[in-house]
Chain A
Amino acid sequence: MMNTGTKNLQKTFSFFCPTKLLGGSDALDNLPFELKEKGASRPLVVMDEFSQRLGYFREVKRAIKDGDILIAATYSAVTGSPVDCDQVVKKFKELDCDCIIGLGGFEVINVAKVAKLMLDQNLSAFDMFRYDSVVKRNSYGNSDVALFLLPCGIPSGIEATTRARILDEEANLFYNFDSRRACATAIFLDKRLTDIMPAKALAVSGLNALAMGLIGFIENPDNMIAQSYATAAINSVMTTLLPAMRHNADASYRLAIYSAAINAGVAYYNAGGNIFRDTVTEIAMHYKADPAQVAEILFPHYYRSRMNEERIFKGVLMPLAGEDVYASTNFNARDKVALDTIEQFWDKVSELTSIPTTLSQIGAMQADFPTIAQAVIERYRGEDADVKNFTYITDLLEKAF
């Protein structure tokens, strides 16, 4: 039966989250099993100083040893540069490793992902890091090196996605990658790999997860799968960030925020062209700032600038405040109540921790805004003409200044 009805043709839709997520108590104990499932027995562990100093590497060694697997090689003190990627690939080949374990923060995660991409496609550093902001999509390759990520510190959201980012400080270039080959096989969230964080860091990361979740929800109006991830993230942050900040010694709350960040990242990066994400990226690159910090500063202004535009914004109140509030709020008032909820939450978290709330506090200068706005417009791949607009972007930056 060939239906030729054209009533409301379905839009193009895509969702991708090829990474297994293992979380909760003792998740790390499953690492040997997951390695063996992929036929791996000679891991190369990529890590940073932080994870070594806090004893996380010791936990990983113990978990692997219990599974009768020996670590074949390590590469430490990662700074997140192309040199790191190159060195990891060289060591992997020289010592005949068969999988990568990335143990650490943002830089480690990205180096591990890009190293996997290089190995799968048999590419050298010269091939990979030749152009400014190169994006490699749907890359072909005959191998599929298993990659296991053990994030330490709150995940940035990039972990369970096809994305990776490398900063070449010397050349002052960012390289962005978007490839199935940059996906992790599995991510482990175990409370033994969390530690008490300064409240400020927790606040920034939690609000970043919330911002990613809200954007993921708003920018995927036709994608219920992405919206599910976003809703889970938003809900988790709203219910556990403040308790996490009050009871920092309780790893369970931290783990909930970690999980929220992963889910938020899935929704965030599954959205298509996204002006918020592009603006955050450009500001972060321009000032070498933490994207999480930029996101948590920018988001309330972004939301306010768009809250009247689309019906979907009224739906955001549900994951923020739950069914009872949503059902009892008049339809036309929902976006305003959502904005109030967002701003009150943001204010409360900011008060408790004195996190930056303006772009000027992170070193931004108004004179740079035209350049940044132009770069955002060039980067943006979406179809929304209302936001792909120089005045809109500069106004947004001014409001957040």
Chain B
Amino acid sequence: MKTLELYYEVPAAPKIVGGENCFEALAEELRSLGSSTVLLITDKAADASGMADKMRLALTAAAIRSGANYVAQDAVATYAAVYELRDLFRINNCDSIAVCGMSGAINTAKALRMLLSSQEADLDSIAGVNVARKKVSIPFAVVPVGIDTSIAVTKSAYLRKESGEGREFRSVSGGADICAIDAETGVEGGFAATVLGATQVLCDSLEAFVSVNARKLTKCMNLFALRAIRDSLGRALVDPTDIAARWQLRQAGLLSGLAYDVAGAGLARAISNALAVHCGGGREAYAGIVLPEVLKFNEEKCKADYAEALYYLIGDDGYATTEPEKRAGKLVSTVAETVLGLMRQAGLPATLGERGLKEEDIPVVARAAMGGYSLMTDPARATEDDIVGILRSKL
């Protein structure tokens, strides 16, 4: 019973709405929080999908004036973009923020909200975990456009500085007040993007499940996410218009995000983040490549958890016919085969070398990964040498 005594925190979650009229519900909620002039941040994906227009219409119908509309150009959130937006916010007397876009736009909006509500002068003074203090309230709405919706519900943002260095920001003030999920008009981006998005959610769910901070609630969230991926990924890949499948995958993303805010992540995330900064692109490009190695690395420590999670990944027959002592190994091999198979089918790079990593970069990346917060909650406590080994094995 000692485990039940361990201290835990479950942060407040944003209000999440989906389905018909979700944009109207989002705008109404924003209005009820005091929004009258909004800074709207979108990106090319949001505009192309039509979601940005839906958002604009709903905000107008709720009598929320558009103070400014900024279209994010970069896939990665940057310090420069946040400062530019801060000026726009002030010049146009905005009182709230709404973002509709992919991860770059959402990370930018979250960092902006943290900066404005903390009333600090620069981003470096609020970088880190729980550094930014919420001094003023700024209503904040998020609509994720891509398949990985986890970013809409977490309270963290990842930015790149001018120097190329990546910084993580995690604070209550980075969390949205309201989040809308629209599976009908959301962008799938094709087979490859769906594989990358789903693989990232799979990775995050498995890592949070075995995290040292995992609690019963977060474990349930992760297991539901795994089951949703099992039930829907195949259908979404075969038929991109299968809205029920897309909706399930989006819920899986939300679940993994909510669990992440409590349980944190692990080794795969630490490595993926470091690779993304070093080699470019988002961390989803690396999650699927490193995940199988990380699962193998953690297997001994996480046997019981992996055995439990196996059911949710392979269902009744596979689980029942696998001997209990072999279930953990079965999970590791199933994930490896499935992820690798999908990446090959999608024509995606399956090694880190193909993604641009060189042998001589490995020590630098490993050192950067050691500095990430995600490692603190990983159960196997990898060393820098362990990470070097993992990177080398996937080169």
Chain A residues engaging chain B, CB cutoff 8 angstroms: 1-3, 5-27, 37, 39, 138-140, 142, 144, 180, 185-186, 191, 223-225, 227-229, 231-232, 235-236, 240, 250, 252-253, 255-256, 259, 263, 323, 326-328, 331
CB–CB B216/A235 < 8 A: yes
- Is the Cβ of A1 less than 8 Å from the Cβ of B16? no
Chain B min CB distance to A129 (Å): 22
- Looking at B2, B4, B135, the one whose CB has the most chain A CB atoms below 10 A away is B4
* B189 and chain A: residue at smallest CB distance: A1
Whether A255 and B4, one on each chain, are in contact in the complex, defined by CB atoms closer than 8 angstroms, is yes
B17 near A2: Cβ-Cβ < 8 Å: no
Question: When the two chains form their complex, are residues B10 and A8 in contact, meaning their CB atoms are under 8 A apart?
Answer: no
A-contacting residues, B9-55, CB 8 Å: 9-22, 25, 28-29, 31-32, 34, 48-50
Binds A, one of B161-169, B240-248, B387-395: B240-248
Q: Which of B214-258 touch A at CB < 8 Å?
A: 216-217, 219-221, 223-225, 228, 239-244, 247-248, 251-252, 254-255, 258
In Å, the complex CA distance between A253 and B243 comes to 43
A228 engages B224 (CB within 8 Å): yes
For residue B137, CB closer than 8 A to chain A, the reply is yes
Known contacts A10-B243, A25-B6, A229-B217: does B16 contact A328 (CB below 8 Å)? no
Are A225 and B254 in touch, CB under 8 angstroms? yes
Rounded to whole Å, the gap between the CB of B130 and the closest CB of chain A is 9
A141 to B1, CA, bound (A): 44
B362 to chain A, nearest CB (A): 38
Q: Which residue of A lies closest to B219 (CB)?
A: A232
B4 in complex: contacting residue of A185, A224, A231, A256, CB < 8 Å: A256
Q: Is the CB of A21 within 8 A of B247?
A: no
Q: Is the CB of A16 within 8 A of B16?
A: yes
Expressed in whole angstroms, the Cα–Cα distance for A186 and B217 within the complex equals: 17
Complex-state Cα separation, A23 to B31, whole angstroms: 33
User: Which residues of B come within 8 Å of A, CB atoms?
Assistant: 1-2, 4-22, 25, 28-29, 31-32, 34, 48-50, 133-135, 137, 172, 181, 183-185, 187-188, 216-217, 219-221, 223-225, 228, 239-244, 247-248, 251-252, 254-255, 258, 308, 311, 316, 319-320
State whether B220 touches A231 (Cβ < 8 A): yes
Cβ distance B108 to chain A, nearest Cβ, rounded Å: 23
User: Given A3-B185, A10-B183, are A235 and B240 neighbors across the interface (CB < 8 Å)?
Assistant: no
Q: Contact: A10 with B19, CB < 8 Å?
A: yes
Residue of A nearest to B327 (CB): A323
Given A9-B243, A20-B11, the answer on whether A232 and B320 have CB atoms closer than 8 Å is: no
CB distance from A37 to the nearest CB of B (A): 7
Q: Within the assembled complex, what's the spacing in Å between the Cα atoms of A223 and B16?
A: 11
Q: Is A20 within 8 A of B320, CB to CB?
A: no
Say whether, besides A13-B18, A20-B10, A227-B224, A5 and B242 are in contact (CB < 8 Å).
Answer: yes
Q: Are A12 and B21 in touch, CB under 8 angstroms?
A: yes
CA distance A6 to B221 in the complex (A): 28
Most chain-A Cβ atoms within 10 A of its Cβ — which of B10, B32, B187? B10
- Contacts A18-B13, A255-B4 known; 4 new A-B pairs at CB < 8 A: A10-B247, A13-B22, A138-B32, A252-B4
- Can you show 17 pairs from A to B with CB atoms below 8 A apart? A2-B49, A2-B185, A5-B241, A8-B244, A10-B20, A10-B247, A18-B14, A21-B9, A24-B5, A140-B31, A224-B248, A228-B221, A253-B1, A259-B216, A323-B311, A323-B319, A327-B319
A10-B184 in contact (CB<8A)? yes
Q: Would B311 and A18 count as touching, CB distance under 8 A?
A: no
**A17, B12: Cβ atoms under 8 Å?**
yes
Query: A240 vs B32: C-alpha distance in the bound complex, in angstroms?
Result: 41
Counting chain B CB atoms within 10 Å of each CB, the highest count among A10, A235, A252, A323 belongs to A10
